[in-house]
Amino acid sequence: MAEDFNFEDENRPDDLFQRPPFEEDESESHDPGSLEEKEVKVVGVYERPEPQGGAGQQATYVVLLRDSGSRSVLIWIGKFEAYSISLALEGATADRPITHDLLSNVINRMGGNVERILIDDLWNDTYYAKVTIAIDGKTMDIDSRPSDAIALGLRAKCPIFMIEGVLERAAVKEE
């Protein structure tokens, strides 16, 4: 199987593997107002049992985010991410480091820090996010699932932002 894969057949930009991993730190590139970003807070993680055809039930999990204008966004997440976010919200730790603890520890030991989280897109009911890591005066934006970015951001105690357009499309009214 692997021998059948040919990089020449891939349709991707030629410079994909040639870009430097870090960009120079530019104060304009991370100004929350320049991209119409709004800071959001993690309100909580919730479990909701869903009937599955038959005797069993499967739970679904959501993380609830809210901006200062009381707009709320629900993002469906996995069980393990829900557990990780819950631990961070409670200020608790697992007996052994879980994946988000490991990633946080690696970033910190390498002299970096997580500066911010940005939920920057919503396409086909899927949210997209970026984690901004700073090291040696340079920053790097890493693509991430929002649930992983939120779990990491809570551990780093950094701000979490959402693009205004995403917030407008995804916000729900609470009853």
* Residue of 123, 126, 103, 124 whose CA lies nearest to 114: 103
Distance CA(69)–CA(46), nearest Å, equals 22
What's residue 51's pLDDT? 64
| Spans of the chain below 70 pLDDT | 1-35, 51-57, 173-175
CATH number for the domain running over 27-170: 3.10.690.10
What's the distance, CA 174 to chain centroid? 23
The answer to whether the CB of 153 falls within 8 A of the CB of 117 is yes
Domain boundaries, the chain: 27-170
As given in the structure block, the two tokens for residue 57 are 């039930």
**What is the predicted pLDDT for the residue at 25?**
41
Which tokens belong to 100? 């988000």
Amino acid at 99: T
User: Does pTM surpass 0.85?
Assistant: no
Question: So what's the pLDDT on residue 77?
Answer: 96
> pLDDT tens for residues 8-19?
444 433 433 333
